[in-house]
Amino acid sequence: MRLRNISVRALIAEAGGDPWAINEGLQAGRPAQISELAEAFHAAGSCVGESVITFADARRRFAAAWNRGGVSIDDSAAVRELTDSLGVQSLLLPKIGVDLRTIAAALAQAQRTGDTLVSALHARLERLDREIGYATALERDAVVGVLERHAIDDTKAALGQLDSLRNAYSAYLQILLAALRVGAEGQPEELVVPLPTTDPDEVNRWWHSLGQRQRDRLIAEHPPQLGCLGGIDTVSRDKVNRAVMNDDIGRVESVAAQHRISVSEVTQYPQRYGLTATAVLRYHNAMQTMEGFLIDSDGGRNPVFLHTYDPEAFGGRGRAAIAIGNPDDADNTTVLVPGTGSSVRDGYLTQRDGLHVFDEARKADLRKTTAVLVWMGYHAPDSLRDFEIGQTRYARDGGGLLARDVNALGATHRPGATHVTVLGHSYGSTTVADAAAGSGMRADDVVLVGCPGTDLARAAADFHLAGRGHVYVGAASTDPITYLGFQRHLPGTGVTVGLGSDPAVEGYGSTRFKAEAPGLTSPLDDHSSYFTPGNESLFSIGDIASGHGDALALDKMTAQHRGSYWLPDEFDPENLRAPTWDHYH
């Protein structure tokens, strides 16, 4: 990597650490150790039948995950010595085999991921370095400042990801080594939770390889990472996440009770009472999550599950997902992705958008079971004044996170068909588009409402929906955000203006439904009206989320696209009709 305008030393200082040094340490780890453990497992078995198959699968998976400089996994002379020292009973082999298969693949993948992260960081920094050079030559100091901030943010993000990878790599290897040396007394004491990057199907196999007592013990101990792990069933995740959330609430409230003072006194001056600012942040986000939980339960009428809970994520904005209905059992599941100004910290989970979608989708087909996952799982722009609102970075990063969570739903769903709809509002619709077009999200249908642009997806075909899947679009003619469908790069900078194509125009390939807002409203109110009960939009979403998108035509809820009749794309035929009201299933 050659940089002319960016100082790597300054980046390291601003980021608070050296991602390159961390990656070097990660790559210095010996993948041969995993091979030795696998060989030890194989050689220790007196009952070879199923053990041989498991061992061979572990080696194949490891070989596929580890391919660095053409180096293969050779047999080690130290394997037999290690095997002799382990004293592992053959009864432990099936469990150890599962551990090896899971952990070997996860560790090797961590090293590959480290290389990928550093390569991506190099590419971004080299591009920013060129852009800074152009902007400096043109004396655009403000642009230079923005680009330098991007370089620091990118380095800091890579640092955090690599640090997490390194710590997980080390912890996994040491835990497994210790577990295999336990001897013949019985199952190892340590239960290893898979890495967050582990394939959800692999996680599901690991979870079901444990005995019921082991699963119960993990739930009782509630390690926070367990509740956010794709491949764990929703009921178990809910138990873990609620326990973690209750810990966050109880930590502060118990101190208040102990000192006989108000909670607000504790949160205002936490250091006086032995607490940290992080404890206060976790308490605040836990209370926001709890309130959302109570709202979505609708007075106890709806089953609700805390599907994800990480109150410190995204710089304290928080990461959480509340499921109304159980997506593991539902015939129809909708994942709702919010837009600008949404976060756990700022109270998005206390809004009723998800509850309204659940009610309308359930009533649209009472014969089927319904679930709605209110997904606050990415860093959305903070407000309309946030510089990132016209940038694609958060949408693309969030799209990767969304795709992973949506695709993980299949790992825990009961046998049988299920219909998955992913619904994005505002900037969240751009995130949904990027998840489908850029990160391989698997969904049956996609719904975009109040969409400012679809970035990586330039047409409906770019969503790669399965079978007869559709891209559905709700765009009120009075919603100004939906007219921002363009994308321009400022010459000589790394700054993007606009978020991509307008999916409501003729020729995009979408199905447009009616979404006008009735009454005297303001433009920004219209942008927030798509989930209002009785509105055209929510009724149409109910049809789609229940798996009956074809009912839109029967219900006379389809709308003409912008730019129809050879008119400019700016012309919206929906502006010529009066909005209608009182639409309920």
Contact criterion met (CB below 8 Å) for 431 and 378:
yes
Query: Of the candidates 160, 157, 68, which has an alpha carbon nearest to the alpha carbon of residue 108?
Result: 68
Residue 290's CATH number: 3.40.50.1820
State residue 88's pLDDT score: 41
Q: Is residue 239 in some structural domain? A: no
Largest CA distance in the chain: 82
Secondary structure class of 319 (helix, strand, coil):
strand
Q: In the block, which residue shows the tokens 């991921």?
A: 113
β-partners of residue 323 are 305, 373
Domain that holds residue 75: 8-198
Examine the domain organization and report whether 32 and 150 are in the same domain: yes
Q: Is residue 270 in some structural domain? A: no
- Mean pLDDT across the chain, nearest whole number? 85
Q: Which of these three, 161, 182, 198, is where a domain ends?
A: 198
Query: Of the candidates 528, 540, 550, 401, which has an alpha carbon nearest to the alpha carbon of residue 474?
Result: 540
β-partners of residue 375 are 321
Examine the domain organization and report whether 281 and 147 are in the same domain: no
Examine the domain organization and report whether 317 and 186 are in the same domain: no
pTM score above 0.85: no
Q: Is residue 241 in some structural domain? A: no
Beta-sheet pairing, 445-449 with 419-425: parallel
| Rounded Cα gap, residues 313 and 224, in angstroms | 12
Q: Is residue 258 in some structural domain? A: no
Examine the domain organization and report whether 188 and 290 are in the same domain: no
Q: Is residue 250 in some structural domain? A: no
Examine the domain organization and report whether 427 and 569 are in the same domain: yes
Q: Which of these three, 141, 172, 198, is where a domain ends?
A: 198
Examine the domain organization and report whether 400 and 506 are in the same domain: yes
Examine the domain organization and report whether 292 and 429 are in the same domain: yes
Phi first, then psi, for residue 84 (nearest 5°) are -60, -30
Q: Which of these three, 178, 198, 218, is where a domain ends?
A: 198
Examine the domain organization and report whether 182 and 290 are in the same domain: no
Query: In this predicted model, what pLDDT tens digit does every residue of 379-406 receive, in sequence order?
Result: 999 887 777 888 899 999 999 999 999 9
Query: Of the candidates 152, 153, 135, 157, which has an alpha carbon nearest to the alpha carbon of residue 144?
Result: 135
Q: Is residue 221 in some structural domain? A: no
Examine the domain organization and report whether 16 and 147 are in the same domain: yes
Q: Which residues of the chain carry a pLDDT beneath 50?
A: 46-48, 66-91, 94, 180-188
Task: Report the number of secondary-structure helices (H) and strands (E) in the chain.
Answer: 19, 10
Examine the domain organization and report whether 364 and 455 are in the same domain: yes
Examine the domain organization and report whether 191 and 286 are in the same domain: no
Q: Is residue 18 in some structural domain? A: yes
Domain count for the chain, please give it. 2
Q: Is residue 113 in some structural domain? A: yes
Examine the domain organization and report whether 526 and 420 are in the same domain: yes
| Rounded Cα gap, residues 32 and 526, in angstroms | 60
